[in-house]
Structure 1
Amino acid sequence: MLSRVAESLFWMARYYERAENTARLMDVNINMMLDMGEYMQEVGSSAPYWNPIIRITSPFDDFRARFPKTTQESAIEWLTWCEDNPNSILVCIGRARENARAMRDAISSEMWEQINTTYLQLKDTDHSQIWREGAHSFFGRIRMASQLFQGLVETTMLREEGWQWIQLGKYLERADATTRLVDVKYHILLPSLDEVGGPIDNVQWIAVLKSCSAYEAYQKRNVARITPSRVAGFLVLDHTFPRAVRFCFDQIRLSLRSISVEHGLLEERSPEIIASHVRHTLDQTTMTGIIQSGLHQNMIQLQDYCGEISQKITQTYFQGALRHAA
């Protein structure tokens, strides 16, 4: 497979996954604030609940340069539509579409039609439609569009190298997003230590689970009450839930192995060696150990590993192949 085609497939999947993750966060955040009703009136501002979402998904300084004050309206504008935000939903779906258009022959016609239609509909949407339609319905449509696209990937593509590049991009993006979500909840979202373990804390952790579509799956694993360590442990270490970090690194490792075999690449030269190291580390650890050694530091390290794998992929398969071809 040509390196430019592989690169486009990889980034198409990453950008679409990124758009879905942002839509999930926004939908759940809005509903969480509605559930918190009286408490939100006491706080008097939605900024403490939007700033963490902005920090997870985009450069906060860029947001502040565009919007001096954080409100629900400014946050939604920035995260959904703003072309100054490189990670807004519109920009991400637009970039996914551009990558798809660059290698139309490598994907099915159904995949192209779906991603193209989603982008054009979103681009032509009146921004006020979020409030007319309802935020849950609006962001739910974006989430469902991404899931439809993933379904088309599964049902219309041959299980060859192109499919592996899409899986690799999707799970690498997903692993990074989950670590950021867990990290920001532990260190930013809760306003006061006095509220840890209280009803507000529980509402927020339920929101974290729902943003990953993990609430029902978590309940099947944990019959006891919701606790921060159990939720974080499920989202980081579970090996069967598709958005858990450990599961994602399983899929990353499998895709990298398949791709390296396809290219006849020695294991020690492949990004697979990094993914295998992370997977082994997650196998050997517990959530208690992660918290004791510093949850923030561990989540940052996992994010760094995601970045290192992405950089190694670029050097090995994209830039390296281009230099070789020249």
Structure 2
Amino acid sequence: MLARNAESLYWIGRYVERADDTARILDVTVHQLLEDSNVDPDQASRTLLRVLGIEPPAERLDMWSLTDIVAFSRDTYGGTSIVGAISAARENARGAREVTSTEIWECLNTTYNALAERERTARRLGPHQFLSYVEGRAAMFAGLADSTLSRDDGYRFMVLGRAIERVDMIVRLLLSRVGDSGSSPAWVTLLRSAGAHDTYLRTYRGALDAGRVVEFMLLDRLFPRSIFYSLRLAEHSLDELQNSPHSRVGATAEAQRLLGRARSELEFLQPGALLESLEMRLAALQKTCRDVGEALALQYFHSAPWVGWTDAGRSSALVIEEGEL
């Protein structure tokens, strides 16, 4: 597979996942601001912007200014807004049409073309319908990818990007709650932002405390949005790309080594020790996501520099010299 196509598929997976997760997080925050008068809109907005890695502006924030920045902004760097992420995913899909299905391209293109009208409606009626639309289109994209793409290297790069982005977003959510009390309602907000509230309640029979929430979001082996599950999925995809899932010498690539180390540190961690040095552990996971992205770029996406034949260069120089004489 061409390096540019592999990189495009990897970033399609990341950008669609980013748009989906951002829409979920913003939707929960907007509902919280509308329903709970005790919540300070400016403080809640700044907390969300820090979660998403966006520098908060100097002026006071409310629900509408927050939505403008997180959902509709076209000036954010790296596709951090919802519109920016969908636009970036579409551009990558347009450049990799030969390795994606027609259904995937039409899904992303249709979603992008509908954003302007959806944005105008959201400014009149509120952002919920816009955010629900994005979540639904991201779910459609995931379903089309699973049902229309061959399980080849292209599919693995897309799944790899989605898994790494999911780890990064869940880590950001957990970092925003470090220091909260064990019975704080913010933990319910976190579960809803991750789409994990119903599954958590079924798993723990409704018992809610900080330790169990962190344990569920970090270590659960069955929930697809947990950090452990996503790390294992990314590691499996990378093993398949290496074409040597049972190599005798262990991890030979830097990205594979980083993912394996992060996954094993969680796998053999005592659940009761999760809240101890949680912030440091989450910061290490966030750094792992950055390092894995850089390692993948070096290993797969950066094409080799152009190399010309030395004889050809010498011959052309000789011809020029003879012509001058």
Q: Provide the TM-score with structure 1 as the length reference.
A: 0.87
Which residue is 1:323 aligned to?
304
Moved more, 214-223 or 169-178: 214-223
Residue aligning to 1:85: 76
Q: Specify the alignment match of 1:251 in structure 2.
A: 233
Matched residue, 1:181: 173
Does the 8 Å contact 1:5/1:106 carry over to 2? yes
Deviations 1:77-118 (A, max 9, x none): 011111221211111110000000001011110100010111
Provide the rounded CA distance (Å) in 1 between the counterparts of 2:31 and 2:82: 19
1:323 is displaced (CA, Å) by: 0.9
Amino acid at match of 2:242: S
**1:47 lines up with 2:29 in the alignment:** no
Q: Does 1:288 align with 2:272?
A: yes
Distance change in 2, residues 1:9/1:262 (3 Å): farther
Aligned length: 303
Cα separation, partners in 2 of 1:286 and 1:325, compared to 1, 3 Å:
farther
Per-residue CA deviations over 1:180-206 (Å, capped at 9, x if unaligned) read 10110224xx5xxxxx355xx22x211
Partner Cα separation in structure 2 for residue 24 and residue 126 of structure 1? 16
Residues of 1 paired with 2:219 and 2:125: CA distance? 37
In 2 relative to 1, CA 140–224 (structure 1 residues): closer, same or farther, beyond 3 Å?
Answer: closer
The answer to whether the Cα contact below 8 Å between 1:253 and 1:272 also exists between their aligned partners in 2 is: yes
Distance 1:325 1:240 in 2: 46
> Residue 14 of structure 2 contacts residue 164 of structure 2 at CA under 8 Å; is this kept in 1?
yes
- Is 1:75 equivalent to 2:66 in the alignment? yes
Percent of counterpart pairs with the same letter?
A: 27
Who is 1:212 aligned against?
194
The alpha carbon displacement at 1:276 in A equals: 1.1
Of the three residues 103, 111, 134, the one matched with 1:110 is: 103
Structure with the greater alpha carbon radius of gyration:
2
Q: In structure 1, the residue corresponding to 2:76 is in which secondary structure?
A: coil
Q: Following TM superposition, by how much is the alpha carbon of 1:134 offset from its aligned partner in structure 2, in angstroms?
A: 3.8
* Corresponding letter in the other structure for 1:59: I
SS at match of 1:83: coil
Of the candidates 47, 53, 74, which is equivalent to residue 58 of structure 1? 53
2:71 aligned partner, one-letter code: T
Conserved 8 A contact 1:232-1:287: no
Q: TM-score, normalised by structure 2?
A: 0.88
Name the SS of the counterpart of 1:285 in structure 2: coil
Corresponding residue of 1:123:
116
Q: Which runs of 4+ in 1 moved over 6 A?
A: 262-266
For the aligned residue pairs, the C-alpha RMSD in angstroms reads 2.1
Distance across 2 between alignment mates of 1:226 and 1:135: 29
Unaligned runs of 5+ in 1: 191-195
Distance of 1:134 and 1:82 partners within structure 2: 16
Tell me by how many angstroms 1:207 deviates.
1.5
